[in-house]
Amino acid sequence: MAAKGVRYRLGVDVGGTHTDLVLLDPDSGELLVEKVSSTPKNPALGVLNGVARFIARGIAPDAIDFFAHGTTITTNALLEMRGARVGLLVTQGFRAIQEVQAQARDGNLFDYYYAKPEPIAPQSLTREIPERSDYRGDVLLPLDREAVRRAVLELREAGVESLAVCYLFSFMNPAHEEETRRIAKEVAPELSVSISSEVLPRLREWPRMSTTLLNAYLEPVLVRYIDHLSRGLDEIGVTTQRRFLMQSNGGVMPFTATVAGGRTVHTLFSGPAGGAQASALLSGDYARRGLVTLDMGGTSADIAFIEGGVPLETTESVIARRQIDVPALDMTTISAGGGSIASIDRGGFLVVGPQSAGADPGPACYGRGGTRPTVTDADVACGYLNPDYFLGGAQKLDVEASRRALDEHVAKPLGLDVIAAAAGIRRIVDMRMADEVRVFAAKRGVDLTAFTLLPFGGAGAVHAAAVAEELNMRRILVPPRPGAFSALGLLCTDVVHDYIRSELRPLDEVSPGHAEAIFAGLEDRAREELKAEGLDPADASFLRELDLRYTGQGYELRTSLDGLATGALTPAAMAAARARFDERHAKAHGHAAADRPVEVVSYRVRVRVASPKYTARPETAPQAPRPASSARKGERQVFFDPAAPVSATVYERDGLDVGVRVQGPCIVEQFDATTIVPPNWSALVDEYRNLVLERAGG
């Protein structure tokens, strides 16, 4: 039951198979965890079902004072192409930008059947508007307002729900785009309108247009979802208006920020960002020395790197072959989840994914009508999962259903027995994750042998040791609640907004006063938006950055100005920024050119409003810790090798005291996850109740 006067903080992460909820009592540090089935047709229902479980446990709904949500609603809408019908307004003479794009080709260069993704706004829904500004923002041709009215009315008649507006050089002068939005709202107020000067006021036409199109495509989807979820929370008595949505950059934004302002595209990596944020904040020295995170859920596996205690970031991403240039944690996602379906392809080879059984019907062992074998079915057949203790016993797994599915769809077609088929599925998915980590590390110059693998998600700790062995990594850190770790990450972050404005100019021609004026303009906009979101700008901190490059380069590096000036920018601060850029370039590319001129491409501001965060509290090892045998639940036959099962000791994780070490082969079970400790590995419970797995000889 809830203590009187307690104000709780709630983090909710919606995955493809399960929705995870973590409730924090900030005073005591106590965590309550719930895990419910996701509801893909309406993800809000799964969230509300999970909140209802806390209420049934005695938590007063009006005692929930903070609600943070990580969601894949926009990601899934894009992957499944379920967004709004979008119309595009462009500068007259430039309607082909969406067709030409960046003149680059993704994927296999030798694919004779290559085709670009279907355009979000086809040519039939694209209209050219007479208007033109030059590269300095000076108006060459005034906006034809009547042409805008005609275009908007035509597009509305064609069934368009959302407009994207992308005029040439609008990042230098947004007046025409802003006037276009005003006219559109006047003649068709029901339409959503995304303008590029607000979504991404940055040079390079195609990335700016692509990002704006994505925002227009997904904004109605997100707004409807947030509206439904907000009304549902109100109805069950969760009255707090401190409701936040996770962003791709590892920060949160208020629900109200999703309604307008071009921020929908900032949620495309909302789901996996929470786990990376928790990894950085809660892993202590491991995060400072280097972590590879492996978030393996029901439908996919997300991989990120933590260096120096912070997640790596990027400002240019591709999702579903679509360009999106907004700040995001540097992560990669592959179709390697517990629900990934195994099948035999036309060539007679075993493949795993990308199709997933998801939450409905789920793996065959769930007993909900699924008949296709999945990675989870392979784990069950090999003895890795306890069929009577899945979700702490709340859900029973049907071992025979797993074996039948494996036998029919994999074993018989390949002439194998069921265990060999299951082991093959596990081998494929483990190798795929290891290969993705290896490539990701090579691109970023990371020495994996010096890093620790941090698995979470429902399936991460089941597969982590196999992945680590493939990568020659000798240490694994399994957090106390791995199945709900991403949800916990939502309680480990601040409100964060990013702003950018491009202005291409040689650095030595940029006076401190000019740069100060641009930064001040971005910061003023940030303060206005914080006020509109009900936040106090006085609580905000600002981080300034410059995108710099050597003259003639086609790419730039973000260069922080943090610590270079205590007040307004000075000539010394600008010179120090140049020196910092040279250092960054040398680190990133192995060389610098201190004698070459440098140019400014863009100005960036990150505003942060701090929120109370969950912090792990260390425990002192008891003077007389209970032996590991006191947490022993029994033994189970496990097929680490399909030809020779071994007997593995099974432990209840909550029964293992701080300082206790267990030797593999063993299995450590808990409500939300299972940790596999193979032969030649051991696991130690550290003072934060992490399980630290180490390989013999490491």
Helix (H) or strand (E) holding 549: strand 540-550
What pLDDT score was predicted for residue 193? 96
User: Please, what is the Cα angle at 589 between 583 and 590, to 5 degrees?
Assistant: 75
User: Angle formed by the axes of helices 418-444 and 399-406, to 10°?
Assistant: 80
Q: Give the residue from 92, 76, 9 showing the smallest Cα distance to 488.
A: 9
List the chain residues with pLDDT less than 70. Answer: 1-5, 259-260, 698
Q: Which amino acid is at 343?
A: S
Residue 479: asked if its preceding bond is cis (omega within 30°), the reply is: no
List all residues 6 or more positions away from 671 whose beta carbon is below 8 Å from its beta carbon: 33, 35, 391, 392, 483
Q: Where are the alpha helices (DSSP H) in 262-370?
A: 270-282, 285-289
On whether the CB atoms of residues 409 and 342 are closer than 8 A, the answer is yes
Per-residue model confidence (pLDDT) at position 321: 84
pLDDT of residue 629: 92
d(CA 444, CA 330): 10
Contacts of 484 (CB under 8 A, 6+ apart): 13, 20, 21, 22, 33, 35, 672
Rounded Cα distance, 178 and 196, in Å: 10
Q: What is the pLDDT of residue 5?
A: 62
d(CA 118, CA 112): 17
Closest CA to 34 of 627, 487, 614: 487
Helices (H), 18-131: 43-56, 73-79, 97-100
Query: What angle in degrees, to the nearest 10, is found between the helix axes of 460-471 and 418-444?
Result: 60
Rounded CA-CA distance 314/303 in Å is 14
Listed in sequence order, the residues at least 6 apart from 284 whose beta carbon sits closer than 8 Å to its beta carbon are 616, 688
Q: Among candidates 370, 263, 367, 385, which has minimal Cα distance to 324? A: 263
What is the reported pTM? 0.86
Q: Cα separations (Å) of 586 from 214, 509, 545, 554, 563? A: 34, 24, 18, 17, 20
Rounded to an integer, what distance in angstroms lies between the CA atom of residue 663 and that of residue 652? 14
CATH number for the domain whose boundaries are 495-609: 3.30.1490
- Distance, in Å, from the CA atom of 432 to the CA atom of 296, rounded to the nearest integer, reads 12
Q: Reduced to 3 states, what is the DSSP secondary structure of residue 625? A: coil
Query: For position 435, what pLDDT does the model report?
Result: 94
Per-domain boundaries in the chain: 1-277, 495-609, 628-695
pLDDT of residue 1: 42
Q: Cα 22 to chain center, whole Å? A: 18
Asked whether 307 and 335 are in contact (CB, 8 A), the reply is: no
CB 126 within 8 A of CB 203: no
Instruction: Cite the DSSP H helix spans in 363-511.
Output: 375-381, 399-406, 412-414, 418-444, 460-471, 485-489
Is the Cβ–Cβ distance between 360 and 298 less than 8 Å?
no
DSSP code at position 89: E
